[in-house]
Structure 1
């Protein structure tokens, strides 16, 4: 067998996030501005918004071309937890035997 040298990777794997998104007209919007808009959307209503609903709001209100996965990453960075759903227990009762 031949001796093969194995080199370890010194950089992290994967591609880094670019740090911006685009609007519908093609202008760049930095992530900091998107985070500010996310905080406005979260604090504006009394409703709990998850990352998917926030993505739809960003697309509609600010005409951003943004992916739900990026909104999820930004929400994680802001320490905005996903809304919790409460389970309801349904008990069926039968009347008359």
Structure 2
């Protein structure tokens, strides 16, 4: 009688193992899928944040260019002459 009970428990355990393993495997697969979905959502958020920051960049660059243009307005281009050299370039005997 004890041997029959042991055999029944072994048979029951052997029959239940594939079902419990399959259930565990499905749970694990669902868990991995949820983790993957979370990572994808995080990546999409990062891309959207970067795109938003990039959208403001042309305006900021335009402001900087305008500011530089304003600063460079009074600047004269070319090599500056030392003070007092204008007389050297006059023709002798010319009247001013």
TM-score band, normalised by shorter chain? under 0.3
TM normalised by structure 2 equals 0.19
If you compute each CA radius of gyration, which structure gives the higher value, 1 or 2? 2
